[in-house]
Amino acid sequence: MVKAGVIGSTGYAGAQLVSLLANHPHISLTYLGSHSYVGKRFSSIYPSMQGSCDLVLEEEDIEGASRRCSVLFLALPHGMASKLVTKEILERCVIIDLGADYRLSDVSVYTQWYKSEHTSQHLLQEAVYGLSELKRPLIAKANLIANPGCYTTCSILTLAPLVAENLIERTSIIIDSVSGVTGAGRVERTDSLFCECNESFKAYGVTDHRHTPEIEQELSALAGQKTVVQFTPHLAPMNRGILSTCYANLKDGVGEDEIGAAYAKWYAEESFIRLMGTSLPETRFVKNTNTTAIGWKVDPRTRRVIAIGALDNLIKGAGGQAVQNMNIRFGFAENAGLASTVVNPL
């Protein structure tokens, strides 16, 4: 059994991660850190976990936790992990960071978009971007894994085959993404209140959402040249889920056959990607799973492809992908402790 710990365990992403680790066949959940609930049992904060995880929450102490655990997950706001992680910690413990601090390879891009100082720039070269399906060989050898964001996971996985196979005009990519309210985290904010979100639908972060450079960084790597996208996130009145609708102009000679062949080439053997062809995914098709569902349509009138991806933002977009990365890193079956299909399809 591998000893695991979570710092930031009582937020939505952290709690989802704890629930997955508590039921993982190869993990002994050893340490849970919390800023707000020290001394309380995890199951007193989340009563649904009674009997499954009754660990007492401790002070957030990465130094001490790294001596007790073989893998430590950080579910913290941006700007905090870079102040905590050190080379010495990485020599004795695998760190999987669910925040943004190690996702961007260029520290100036991080500073520009997050308006925050990065205090461990020297570790950026050691960090691996943990998009499991695309970075598997690197993840398997890394001690610092940067878990991708929820919007970025959905957008990149949906677009990767089209970009990598050079089937679309890179300058034409537009991404409209919709998230459930848990994407805002478990904090008291007026715009996250039920009365503010229910029976409403809105765009936010228009032109300046912080996941934009992350998407561009990974699509540029796949394309082998700089790729810029137009990314617009939206908030929907649902608890969890991401739906990304991606538009791009097709290269000459590209049609549905070439699109389908590209997706099959990249994802046919992936257990956590469900290719739906010209059927289109919905968030309820992947709720409570680690699966990304992808479908697409070609519009012959406009010569565009419309590719649509859906995932659960707290699982494949956060805690589930973190567990998937851990499974890869420690040589477990990649699906250990993770669901790929919806238990109740309604």
The Cα–Cα gap between 345 and 91 comes to 44
Catalytic residue among 53, 69, 93, 150: 150
Is 150 among the catalytic positions? yes
Length of the chain: 346
Residue 1, C-beta contacts closer than 8 angstroms, at least 6 positions apart: 26, 27, 28
Residues 6+ positions from 317 with CB-CB distance below 8 Å: 149, 150, 151, 153, 154, 183, 242, 311
Q: Which of 294, 243, 241, 246 is closest to 272 using CA atoms?
A: 294
SS (HEC) of 245-264: EEEEEECCCCCHHHHHHHHH
Question: Using an 8 Å Cβ cutoff, are 64 and 96 in contact?
Answer: no
320: left (phi over 0), alpha (psi -120 to 50) or beta: alpha
- Amino acid in position 161: P
Burial class (CB in 10 A: 0-12, 13-18, 19+), 302: exposed
Q: Go through 36-59 and write b for each residue having 16 or more CB atoms within 10 A of its CB, e for each that does not.
A: ebeeebbbebbeebeeebebebbe
Residues annotated as catalytic (active site), given as ranges: 150
